[in-house]
Amino acid sequence: MMNNQDLRQFAPACARNSEPILAVLNDHLPKDQKINVLEIAAGTGEHAVFFASNFPHAKWQPTEFNQEAHKSIQAWIDHSQVSNILPPIGLDVCQHPWPINKVDVVLAINMIHISDWSCTEGLMKGAGNHLSSDGLLYLYGPYKREGKHTAESNVDFNSWLKERNPKWGIRDMEEVISEAAKHGLEHQKTEEMPANNFSMVFKKLS
Ligand SMILES: C[S@@+](CC[C@H](N)C(=O)[O-])C[C@H]1O[C@@H](n2cnc3c(N)ncnc32)[C@H](O)[C@@H]1O
């Protein structure tokens, strides 16, 4: 039976943060070179089609831990007709090895604070294992700096997260950087983003 239902989900945050994130990616990702990009926690799939369409030389692999979300990601791919994006695959950052070969870029947007700390450890381990030499890990989300929230709104957001799951929460940037270093991922840059978020870029050492 034909399914004419539009299965695309919409996350308001994606509409707000896509352009600012693209501006940072433009500074760090090669525009005219074939690269393999692995997107962790692709969520609705909106980011995947938006970024893949802006990096036509990239082969974009969206992944999502929640199998139910694959329907929306696939619907976004089908609707956009962007050709350099692969069907979504399941990926739990804590399960190693990840079901992929080497990649040039790993992206994880808004995952670290909405998952257990063990997921950050798993993310760093997986990125360290699967990134090629000089490959990049890009993170986006809210962080604490030297143990302190960077805005009052993040204090409230942190409480909201902890009510949902006591193991979730806004992480210390310095702890994330030190976890990355354990897996050969060198911190390159932290950039302030709108709405008290940050971009963080790491490079896989040779
Ligand atoms: C707030 S959503 C972010 C989705 C998307 N990146 C965005 O910005 O809209 C948090 C994401 O963390 C993912 N996540 C939670 N635990 C995970 C795990 N163990 N492995 C991979 N992803 C996980 C969820 O599946 C979900 O996609």
- Which sign does the torsion angle of CA 130, 203, 25, 155 carry? positive
Atom of ligand 1 nearest to the CA of 14: 9
Considering the domain boundaries, does residue 151 fall inside one? yes
Considering the domain boundaries, does residue 9 fall inside one? no
Considering the domain boundaries, does residue 1 fall inside one? no
Comparing CA positions, the residue from 12, 83, 23 lying closest to residue 53 is 83
Report residue 105 as tokens.
């870029």
- Ligand 1 pocket member 64 (CB < 6 A): yes
Q: What pLDDT, on a 0 to 100 scale, did the predictor assign at position 32?
A: 82
Please report, for the domain that includes residue 137, its CATH number.
3.40.50.150
Considering the domain boundaries, does residue 102 fall inside one? yes
- What is each CA distance from 57 to 17, 33, 36, 126, 200, in whole angstroms? 22, 6, 9, 24, 23
pTM over 0.95: yes
Q: What pLDDT, on a 0 to 100 scale, did the predictor assign at position 123?
A: 98
Considering the domain boundaries, does residue 136 fall inside one? yes
Residues 20 and 28: their CA atoms lie apart, in Å, by 13
Considering the domain boundaries, does residue 133 fall inside one? yes
Residue pair 156/142 in contact by the 8 Å Cβ criterion: no
Residues 67 and 76: their CA atoms lie apart, in Å, by 15
Q: What pLDDT, on a 0 to 100 scale, did the predictor assign at position 1?
A: 47
Considering the domain boundaries, does residue 4 fall inside one? no
Considering the domain boundaries, does residue 116 fall inside one? yes
In terms of Cβ atoms closer than 10 Å to its own Cβ (0-12, 13-18, 19+), residue 78 is middle
- Ligand 1 pocket member 39 (CB < 6 A): no
Residues (pLDDT < 70) of the chain are 1-4
What range defines the domain where residue 101 resides?
Answer: 15-22+32-204
Q: Which of 114, 117, 118, 171 to mutate to test the pocket of ligand 1 (most atoms within 8 A of CB)?
A: 114
Q: What pLDDT, on a 0 to 100 scale, did the predictor assign at position 2?
A: 52
Count: domains in the chain? 1
Residues 20 and 1: their CA atoms lie apart, in Å, by 41
45: left (phi over 0), alpha (psi -120 to 50) or beta: left
Which residue's alpha carbon is nearest to atom 1 within ligand 1?
110
In the numeric block, the tokens 């790993």 are attached to 106
Quick: pLDDT tens for 55-100: 999 999 999 999 999 999 999 999 998 999 999 999 999 999 999 9
How many A from CA of 2 to the centre of ligand 1? 30
